């Protein structure tokens, strides 16, 4: 096991903080070619792009300073306080970001992995109420365990490899979600335009013909905190609709209060919908093993007639982006968005395809959800593994002596994306041309890929053979855009147990 020396950051690396050129001076921003980051962009973790650029004059006439690729960035203020990220290209940042610059004393990937484990600890030490913050001095004085450079590289490689597996599993889950959306559109079309001409019905027409089958939660005064008890009938909250997590239980009422509010009770198979706030319209289906209880004032419950409209079908209609824009369009922009009046909800028309076709879709959803459940279980195992490895690694309890670092990337060499940015910027003279990227990828998919079904790896292999550097995230953006344009579609391959793509004829 390695012996670690704990050192302050300032004892082994230089630390600089960013700045913002005046927004009032156009020549500091217009046609800028120097990447400029804000603290929110640290949420990328591995920073591969920025939406903002400043000019040479903006750089010279402000406290902004260029940080080289391989710097480790720390957010200083707000909800991102303590968030770390790894910079893959030369850039500057605003005053809410401080950068730990590369040095011969540390491996930046190792340092990034260490600070990832410190996010919560740093946030707890931040000062300020509504706007928590730390200072550059805080970062400079933060102590880091520093084994030998080779040991740092080995630890970074182990954790980075585990991270890569987590990212791939998350990507697989996201692709399954996209597959469900594209399957829905292929089978039923757009639920607002209704180009397939399905029957239209109101919620009252396909809800169950029983009392309180469509019910908004009670007024807030009916559920004051003083009436809650330690156990009894569960009060369902927005959390349940937002997270589809029915293990969560915070508030209970006794039997007397339950009978008083029984009109708001729910049962397995009911749908609950969030009725206010930024998560307006999020919904979940009450599972079979749910606790008996009632909804609170922030929820709406719906009990459907399953012979006319399946729960799964309703969920996919209601969560369709075009449907949400149509239904919530007039209320989502207000200060605190709220569900439209119940009278409007009951008049709103929903597509109602034949039940046989709905059942076919439900069957597809069940199969994909089963695969997704396996992926999510595996993802949880990987995240637990990462947590365990990182905890042991930074305590010096992880034996990484056999980890091969022969091909470990040299810090003087930037990533493929960095090379692409630098080549296309030509020393900050031009930005990466997204149109050219789209043209290149479009030609590859139409001319170079011979398979009917292809995956991301086929595109990456062709780019490698052609010696073209295009970042993985840009390829994904292109594929998503192509799917929204209906030029390509997703298909699930039972043979490879993965999501593939197909050109639409």
Q: Which tokens is 336 given? A: 């605190």
How confident is the model over 448-474, as pLDDT tens digits? 888 888 888 888 888 878 777 787 778
User: What is the pLDDT averaged over residues 58-64?
Assistant: 94
Question: For residue range 338-385, what is the model confidence (pLDDT) as tens digits?
Answer: 888 999 999 999 999 999 999 999 999 999 999 999 999 999 999 999
Q: Which two tokens stand for residue 312?
A: 């799964």
Look at residue 148 and tell me whether its pLDDT is greater than 50: yes
CA distance 305 to 382: 41
- Mean pLDDT to the nearest integer, 87-101: 95
Look at residue 411 in the predicted model and tell me its pLDDT: 42
- Top pLDDT among 450 and 163 is at 163
Tokens 């995956």 belong to residue: 455
**CATH fit for domain 5-147, picks 2.60.40.10, 3.90.220.20, 1.10.357.10, 3.40.50.720:** 3.90.220.20
Whether pTM > 0.75 for this model: the answer is no
Matching CATH topology for 5-147 and 433-505?
no
pLDDT band at 421 (very low <50, low <70, confident <90, very high): very low
Give the pLDDT of residue 409: 57
Confidence of residue 153 (pLDDT cuts 50, 70, 90): very high
Best CA proximity match to 81, nearest among 132, 128, 8: 132
**Extents of the domains making up the chain:** 5-147, 200-352, 433-505
We find that the CATH architecture of domain 433-505 is Orthogonal Bundle (1.10)
Q: According to the model, what pLDDT value does residue 495 have? A: 61
Q: Report the candidate in 433, 437, 413 with the shortest Cα–Cα distance to residue 425.
A: 433
Tokens representing 161? 């490899």
Give the per-residue pLDDT at 414: 39
CATH architecture of residue range(s) 200-352: Alpha-Beta Complex (3.90)
Q: Which two tokens stand for residue 174?
A: 């996201």
Residue 426: predicted pLDDT: 38
* Half-sphere exposure (Cβ direction) of 278: Cα atoms closer than 13 Å: 0
Q: What is the pLDDT of residue 431?
A: 36
Q: What is the pLDDT of residues 233-279, one digit of tens each?
A: 999 999 999 999 999 999 999 999 999 999 999 999 999 999 988 78
Q: Name 503's bridge partners.
A: 488
Q: Alpha-carbon Rg of the chain, whole angstroms? A: 27
The pLDDT of residue 480 is 75
Query: How large is the greatest C-alpha to C-alpha distance in the chain, in angstroms?
Result: 74
Q: Which pLDDT value is given to residue 278?
A: 77
CB atoms within 10 A of CB 160: 17
In sequence order, what DSSP letters do the residues of 444-470 get, joined into one string? IIIII--SSSB-HHHHHHHHHHTT---
Q: Give 156-160 contacts, CB < 8 A, sequence gap 24+.
A: 156/107, 156/109, 156/110, 156/112, 156/113, 157/109, 157/400, 157/403, 157/405, 157/408, 158/389, 158/393, 158/398, 158/400, 158/403, 159/113, 159/386, 159/389, 159/390, 159/393, 160/109, 160/113
């Amino acid at each position: 096991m390695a012996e670690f020396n704990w050192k302050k950051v300032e004892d082994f690396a230089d630390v600089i903080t960013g700045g913002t050129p005046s927004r009032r001076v156009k020549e500091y921003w217009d046609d800028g070619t120097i990447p400029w980051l804000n603290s929110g962009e640290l949420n990328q973790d591995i920073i591969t792009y920025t939406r903002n650029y400043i000019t040479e004059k903006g750089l010279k006439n402000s406290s902004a300073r260029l940080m080289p690729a391989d710097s480790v960035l720390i957010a200083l203020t707000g909800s991102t306080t303590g968030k770390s990220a790894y910079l893959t290209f030369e850039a500057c940042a605003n005053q809410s970001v401080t950068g730990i610059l590369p040095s011969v004393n540390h491996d930046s990937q190792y340092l990034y992995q260490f600070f990832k484990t410190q996010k919560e600890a740093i946030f707890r030490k931040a000062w300020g109420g509504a706007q928590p913050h730390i200072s550059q001095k805080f970062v400079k004085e933060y102590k880091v365990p520093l084994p030998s450079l080779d040991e740092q590289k080995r630890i970074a490689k182990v954790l980075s490899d585990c991270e890569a597996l987590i990212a791939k599993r998350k990507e697989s889950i996201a692709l399954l979600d996209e597959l469900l959306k594209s399957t829905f559109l292929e089978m039923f079309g757009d639920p607002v335009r209704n180009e397939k001409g399905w029957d239209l019905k109101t919620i009252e027409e396909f809800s169950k013909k029983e009392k309180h089958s469509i019910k908004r939660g009670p007024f807030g005064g009916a559920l004051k905190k003083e009436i809650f008890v330690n156990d009894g009938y569960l009060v369902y909250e927005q959390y349940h609709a937002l997270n589809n997590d029915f293990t969560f239980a915070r508030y209970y009422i006794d039997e007397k209060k339950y009978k008083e509010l029984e009109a708001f009770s729910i049962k397995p198979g009911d749908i609950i919908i969030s009725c206010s706030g930024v998560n307006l319209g999020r919904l979940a289906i009450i599972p079979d093993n749910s606790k008996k209880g009632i909804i609170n004032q922030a929820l709406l419950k719906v009990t459907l007639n399953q012979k006319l409209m399946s729960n799964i079908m309703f969920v996919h209609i209601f969560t369709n982006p075009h449907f949400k824009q149509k239904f919530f369009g007039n209320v989502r922009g207000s200060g605190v968005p709220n569900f439209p009046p119940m009278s409007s909800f009951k008049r709103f028309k929903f597509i109602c395809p034949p039940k046989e076709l709905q059942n076919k879709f439900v069957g597809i959803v069940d199969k994909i959800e089963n695969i997704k459940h396996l992926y999510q279980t595996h993802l949880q195992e990987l995240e637990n593994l990462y947590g365990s490895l990182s905890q042991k690694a930074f305590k010096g309890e992880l034996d990484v002596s056999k980890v091969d670092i022969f091909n470990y990337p040299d810090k003087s060499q930037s990533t493929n994306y960095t090379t692409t940015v630098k080549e296309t910027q030509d020393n900050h003279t031009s930005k990466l041309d997204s149109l050219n990227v789209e043209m290149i990828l479009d030609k590859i998919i139409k001319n170079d890929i011979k398979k009917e079904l292809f995956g991301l790896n086929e595109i990456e292999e062709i780019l490698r053979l052609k010696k073209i550097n295009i970042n993985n995230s840009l390829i994904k953006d292109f594929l998503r855009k192509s799917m929204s344009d209906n030029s390509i579609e997703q298909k699930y391959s039972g043979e490879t147990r993965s999501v593939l793509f197909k050109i639409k004829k």
